[in-house]
Amino acid sequence: MKLTVKEVKEVYKPKLLPIIWKDENNTLTILDQSLLPFQKVYVDLKDVDSTALAIKNMQVRGAPAIGITAGYGMVLALTSNKNVKTLDEAIRELTRAKAILDSARPTAVNLVWATSRMLTLAKNAVENGNAKTINELIDLMKVEAKRIFDEEYDAEIQMGLYGLEKLNDSDTVLTQCNAGGLATGTGLGTALSPVKLAKALGMNVSVIAPETRPWLQGSRLTVYELMEEGIKVTLITDTAVGLVMYRGMVNSVMVGADRILRDGHVFNKIGTYKEAVIAHELGIPFYALAPTSSFDLKSNVNEIKIEERDPNEVRTIRGIPIAPENVNVYNPVFDVTPPKYIAGIITEKGIIYPPFHENIKRIVER
């Protein structure tokens, strides 16, 4: 019997609180992911520029977490700016804030999705007369930002429940990067949600986490997050992915997504494509898990910008040189997995199966 979202909330409580909005002083407090797991430091964000910088520097990272942060960033655009006196000025300021936030990172679609949603809400509220003062507008925007957070959490529970249908007791799941509660801001996660719910329901499941060079989201974040929740996790190098699958140590692959196109191409952390191809070759089911806010039904695969980051992320590990100082480096941090390798895409609205070009639009727009 399938549990309801409410029932899951009774049996599962997230251990981490990565994003906290404080109404009393209009502050967004984020757990600094660039320092984990060695230091657990919370950082206060009070304006748009510091919010965009925190996204750019990956103090907050992961597609849904970036979306939630950007939503609150739009609130901060007004709460931090005492020069905004009229509703027209407020909309101009929000338009400016959206441009700053949208340029922080290019690949995760949730960023633009969240800022567009907040700007549309503000424009409608002003036009319809629902907001007659700046304070009324701010209050409506706070409600909307919280709604983005709450909807994300509920979606992750739904994804977890659908994902549970693909898990058996004693299964081992291979993942990539960190698609847990740190990446989504809620403490639960997308790809890690089925495993966490399985544990909460008494199943014995474990995870294999590749370290995910160069930023080490796997070894620093996924491993930390799962250990905090008492879930068995084994850390491997990115180069061991093929062997663990070949040796029969993996029952399924579950990864998150930064952007999914209408034909089923999945953009996710670099290394995902390799996992998908090997899984397909060996008959291991490969699932991408993402809320419908991570779908981009308009773009084509070649139009999506794959973020390239600082070459020093590859030349060094946390500041320690591991290559000749000036070696030429190519550091793309996402890749794209073609639909033919994907057994299913797990969303809060259900599991989408091939043919994706027919089924994605139908389910996402439902």
Ligand X SMILES: CSC[C@H](O)[C@@H](O)C(=O)COP(=O)(O)O
Nearer to ligand X, 91 or 183 (CB): 183
Nearer to ligand X, 126 or 224 (CB): 224
Among 291, 272, 261, 263, which residue's Cα sits nearest to residue 332? 272
Q: What is the rounded CA–CA span in Å between residue 189 and residue 14?
A: 10
Q: How many other C-beta atoms lie within 10 A of the C-beta of residue 319?
A: 6
Strand pairing category for 344-347 and 334-337: unpaired
Minimum distance of ligand X from residue 135's CB (angstroms): 34
298 is in an annotated binding site: no
Minimum distance of ligand X from residue 290's CB (angstroms): 7
160 is in an annotated binding site: no
Q: Which of 49, 150, 171, 258 is catalytic?
A: 258
Nearer to ligand X, 56 or 232 (CB): 56
Among 170, 234, 179, which residue's Cα sits nearest to residue 202? 170
Minimum distance of ligand X from residue 257's CB (angstroms): 6
268 is in an annotated binding site: yes
Measured over the CA atoms of residue 87, residue 89, residue 95 and residue 100, the dihedral's sign is: negative
- Quick one: which H or E segment has residue 126? helix 110-128
Minimum distance of ligand X from residue 106's CB (angstroms): 11
Q: What is the rounded CA–CA span in Å between residue 286 and residue 283?
A: 9
61 is in an annotated binding site: yes
187 is in an annotated binding site: no
Q: Is residue 234 within 8 Å of residue 334, measured between CB atoms? A: no
Minimum distance of ligand X from residue 34's CB (angstroms): 10
Q: Residue number with the shortest CB distance to ligand X?
A: 256
Q: Is residue 76 within 8 Å of residue 47, measured between CB atoms? A: yes
- Residues in contact with ligand X by CB under 6 A are 61-64, 177-179, 183-184, 190, 217, 255-258, 268-269, 333
Alpha helices in 22-86 (DSSP H): 48-56, 63-79
179 is in an annotated binding site: no
Nearer to ligand X, 217 or 337 (CB): 217
Catalytic residue check, 169? no
Among 257, 192, 256, 271, which residue's Cα sits nearest to residue 224? 192
Nearer to ligand X, 72 or 94 (CB): 72
**158 three-class SS:** helix
Q: Is residue 125 within 8 Å of residue 131, measured between CB atoms? A: yes
Q: Where is the binding site, in residues?
A: 61-63, 105, 217, 268-269
Binding site as annotated, residues for substrate: 61-63, 105, 217, 268-269
Active site residues per annotation? 258
